[in-house]
Amino acid sequence: MEENKENKNKKIIKWTIIIILGLVLWQFVLVALPFIALWYLWKKTSLNKSIKIIITIVLVSMSLILFKSVENSSKQAEIDKTLTIQITEPMDNTTTTEKNAEIKGNVNLGGATIKINGRLIKNESKEFAYDIPLSDMINKINVVATKGEYTTSTSLTINRELTKEEKATLAEKQAQEEAKQKEKEKAEAIAKAEEEKQIKQSLSKMRVKEDDIKNITYYTDKSSPKYTNYNGFYLNIIDHPTLGKYLSLSVQYSGNDWLFINSYIIKTDDQTFTLYPDEVKRDNSTYVWEWSTFIDSDTFLPIVKAIITSKETKIRYQGSQYYHDRVISNTEKQALQNVLDAFDALKKQT
């Protein structure tokens, strides 16, 4: 009886030791279990080889996953255990009127590198201090400690209020900016009023004709001919519903004899230009008249501008056998400029 009792006590002690070791060394037990299972599988079971291979692959995969998990847990525990950082001054959410703040703190391990807002801080001991400039309002301070492959971080917020002097300076600056803005708005209003006045003045010199059927509006200087049976060299503005606003040039001849015009030669002070019409229209009564219209402004605008600035300009209505010369009057020159001004005014209204 005593021997059986002794054996029973030994078993209890044995299993107690095994359980205690398992609890203490549970991570290693988890890693070792798959290998124990493999040993048991190949030595103690009678399963066929194919099944043993499949079970072996599963157990090896499980062991690798368990090993990696244990390794990561150990590493994180080591980081938490070995490297910590603490800010001692100032307290989080501190409010100050100072332009700088001294950040003080410590790490539990010597030799760790400290960065405050990305700037490397010199620290020869476990304690560190750094004077950091503060911006107005909210300042977020990030402190990072690194030693070897381990890194830990913390942060704090410092709120900076403006001093009375700074508030007064800021208020004065804002008042100056508001005054400048008002002056700017006033100047812009004056400029706009002047521009509107010039637009109105430019358009007041125009004769306006509207085609209600085609929804087209024509602008011509009031001094230019109303009809094609008068001599003329003048610009028109056409406001078309799909083509928009564009310029055209009208050139007209009126006389007693047909010229059968095929070109118009313009001689300014020191330049000569030739316009070739796509079409020349003709009509007559007790006298005759011929006229052409040009719409390619790239071609005729340089000629028009040369005429406006010239001292004298002559135009030759060149026919197949005969021609007729005349001087473009100052009134016609001014009319050309008036239409250009009105054209600019209409574009500004758009």
**Greater pLDDT, 179 or 111:** 179
Q: Is residue 124 part of a domain?
A: yes
Could you tell me if 93 and 67 lie in one domain?
no
| Residue range of the domain that includes 18 | 2-82
Whether residue 170 lies inside any domain: the answer is no
Q: Do 138 and 214 sit in the same domain of this protein? A: no
Q: Confirm if 202 and 341 have CB atoms less than 8 A apart.
A: yes
pLDDT band at 198 (very low <50, low <70, confident <90, very high): confident
Residue 125 lies in a domain: yes
Q: Half-sphere exposure of 214 toward its Cβ, with a 13 Å CA cutoff?
A: 11
For residues 313 and 251, the answer to whether their CB atoms sit within 8 Å is no
Per-residue pLDDT at 347: 87
User: What's the burial of 112, exposed, middle or buried (CB within 10 Å: 0-12/13-18/19+)?
Assistant: buried
pLDDT at 350: 63
Within this chain, do residues 130 and 248 fall inside the same structural domain, yes or no? no
- Same-domain check for residues 207 and 341: yes
Specify whether 250 is located in the same domain as 345: yes
Which tops the pLDDT comparison, 322 or 123? 322
Does residue 185 lie in a domain region? no
Q: Is the residue at 192 inside a domain? A: no
Q: What is the pLDDT of residue 219?
A: 96
Residues 72 and 120 in one domain: no
Is 238 contained in some domain?
yes
CATH code (residue 136):
2.60.40.10
Same domain, 96 and 129: yes
Q: Which is it for the CA torsion 339, 342, 347, 350, positive or negative?
A: negative
* SS percent in the chain: helix, strand, coil, step 5: 45, 35, 25
Q: Are residues 77 and 48 in the same domain?
A: yes
- If asked whether residues 97 and 36 sit together in one domain, one would say no
Q: For residue 183, is it within any domain?
A: no
Q: Are residues 297 and 339 in the same domain?
A: yes
Q: Do the domain assignments include residue 179? A: no
Residues of the chain above pLDDT 90, percent = 60
Lowest mean pLDDT of 58-62, 122-126, 279-283, 316-320, name the range: 58-62
Span 251-268, average pLDDT: 96
Q: Identify the top-confidence range among 78-82, 112-116, 188-192, 328-332.
A: 328-332
Q: What is the DSSP string of 259-325?
A: --EEEEEEE-SS-EEEE--S--EEEESSSEEEEEEE--HHHHHHHHHHHHH-S--EEEEEESS-EEE
The pLDDT mean for the chain works out to 87
Q: Tokens 């209890």 identify what position?
A: 12
Query: pLDDT at residue 288 above 90?
Result: yes
Most confident of 18-22, 33-37, 115-119, 289-293: 289-293
- Same domain for 77 and 91? no
Domain count across the chain: 3
Let me know whether 110 and 48 are in one domain.
no
Domain boundary among 82, 114, 147: 82
Dump pLDDT digits (tens) for 203-254.
999 999 999 999 999 999 999 999 999 999 999 999 999 999 999 999 999 9
d(Cα 133, Cα 213) in Å, to the nearest integer?
A: 73
